[in-house]
Amino acid sequence: MSPTRYVIVGGSAAGMAAAQSIRELDAHGDILILSAEADAPYYRPLIPYIVTQKKTAEEIALMGQGPYTARDIHVRLNSPAISVDTGARVVNVLGGDAVPYDKLLIATGARPYIPPEIKGVDTPGVYAPRTLADARSLAARAGMARHAVMAGGGLLNLKTSFALLERGVAVTLVVASPEVLSQVMEPDGAALIRAALEKVGLRILTGRNVVEVLAGPNGVSGVRLDTGEELPCEILCIGKGVRPNVEFLEGSGIVVERGVVADEYTACSVPDVYTAGDVAITFDPITGKRIMTALWTNAVEMGRCAGRNMAGHPTVYSGTFGVLNATQVADVPFVSMGIVHTSGTPYEVHVHATANTYRKVVFSEDGKRLIGATLVGDISCAGFYRHLIRERTPVNGLKAEIIGQRLHYGHFIRW
Instruction: Answer yes or no: is 10 within a domain.
Output: yes
Which DSSP string do the residues of 197-248 spell out, in sequence order?
HHHTT-EEEES--EEEEEEETTEEEEEEETTS-EEE-SEEEE---EEE--GG
Instruction: Answer yes or no: is 54 within a domain.
Output: yes
The region of weakest confidence among 82-86, 333-337, 360-364, 389-393 is 389-393
Instruction: Answer yes or no: is 325 within a domain.
Output: no
Same domain, 236 and 247: no
pLDDT at 191 (0 to 100): 87
Number of domain units in the chain = 3
Same domain, 200 and 264: no
Quick check: 259 pLDDT over 90?
Answer: yes
pLDDT digits (tens, 9 = 90+) for 151-178: 998 888 999 999 999 999 999 999 998 8
- Domain end, chosen from 180, 210, 240, is at 240
Instruction: Answer yes or no: is 23 within a domain.
Output: yes
pLDDT at 94 (0 to 100): 95
Same domain, 166 and 192: yes
Which residues are bridge partners to 149 per DSSP? 172, 236
Instruction: Answer yes or no: is 332 within a domain.
Output: no
Same domain, 223 and 283: no
pLDDT at 90 (0 to 100): 98
Same domain, 176 and 267: no
Q: What domain range includes position 346?
A: 339-414
Q: How far is CA 232 from the centre of its chain?
A: 30
Q: What is the mean pLDDT of residues 349-359?
A: 92
Which DSSP string do the residues of 7-73 spell out, in sequence order?
EEE--SHHHHHHHHHHHHH-SS-EEEEE-SSSSPPB-GGGTHHHHHTSS-TGGGB-TTSTT---SSE
How many Cβ atoms are within 10 Å of 201's Cβ, its own excluded?
Answer: 12
pLDDT at 323 (0 to 100): 63
CB neighbours of 355 closer than 8 A, spacing ≥ 6?
none
Same domain, 233 and 136: yes
Same domain, 134 and 227: yes
Quick check: 406 pLDDT over 90?
Answer: no
Which residues are bridge partners to 394 per DSSP? 369
CATH assignment of the domain containing 131: 3.50.50.60
For the entire predicted model, the pTM comes to 0.90
The region of weakest confidence among 55-64, 258-267, 379-388 is 379-388
What's the whole-number average pLDDT of the chain? Answer: 92
Instruction: Answer yes or no: is 323 within a domain.
Output: no
Same domain, 165 and 209: yes
Instruction: Answer yes or no: is 328 within a domain.
Output: no
pLDDT at 107 (0 to 100): 98
Rounded Cα distance between 6 and 20, Å, is 12
Quick check: 415 pLDDT over 50?
Answer: no
Quick check: 328 pLDDT over 90?
Answer: no
Same domain, 248 and 346: no
- Domain end, chosen from 240, 264, 284, is at 240
Give 322's pLDDT tier (boundaries 50, 70, 90): low
pLDDT digits (tens, 9 = 90+) for 276-291: 999 999 988 777 788 8
**Pairing, β 147-151 against β 235-238:** parallel
pLDDT at 398 (0 to 100): 85
- Domain end, chosen from 224, 240, 256, is at 240
Same domain, 73 and 136: no
Same domain, 147 and 81: no
Question: Under a CB-based contact definition with an 8 Å cutoff, are residues 397 and 388 in contact?
Answer: no
* C-beta pairs of 290-294 under 8 Å, 24+ apart in sequence: 290/257, 290/261, 291/320, 291/322, 292/244, 292/258, 292/259, 293/320, 293/321, 293/322, 293/324, 294/110, 294/241, 294/242
Crossing angle between the packed helical segments 13-25 and 296-310, to the nearest 10 degrees: 30
Instruction: Answer yes or no: is 75 within a domain.
Output: yes
pLDDT digits (tens, 9 = 90+) for 96-134: 899 999 999 999 999 999 999 999 999 999 999 999 999
pLDDT at 390 (0 to 100): 83
Q: What is the mean pLDDT of residues 132-151?
A: 97
Same domain, 287 and 386: no
